[in-house]
Amino acid sequence: MAMRTDGKCPCLDPNALPKQINVDGYGIAIVGLTEIINEVRKLGLTDEDKIKKELLERVKKRNWVPDSAQASYAAALFAEYKKQAPASARG
């Protein structure tokens, strides 16, 4: 987890708290998911595969992801990314 410049513990940041997503029918807690989605959204990516790859790589820095489940995690992360789209993007 990145150290904050204000000296506060990053564990107190509500965006860094675990959020549960559904991966192959299992509820999986992902640490920092809201923050990760916001970071990836700022990149302005439009290609679904690139978004999935970026989400997965960032999630893996803070969370354990089994090698055999990476595709499932990427799909679940992308679904959550779409759910958290800004209201203007959802139409």
pLDDT tens, 39-81? 999 999 999 999 999 999 999 999 999 999 999 999 999 999 9
Residue 84 reports pLDDT greater than 80: yes
* Stated pTM of the model: 0.79
Is a pLDDT exceeding 60 seen at residue 1?
Answer: no
Rounded to whole angstroms, the maximal C-alpha distance in the chain is 39
Cβ count within 10 A of residue 81: 20
Enumerate the domain spans of the chain: 13-86
91 against 48, higher pLDDT: 48
The conformation of residue 37, written as its DSSP 8-state character, comes to: H
Q: What is the pLDDT of residue 70?
A: 98
φ, ψ for residue 18, nearest 5 deg: -65, 145
pLDDT in tens, 20-34: 999 999 999 999 999
The Cα–Cα gap between 52 and 30 comes to 15
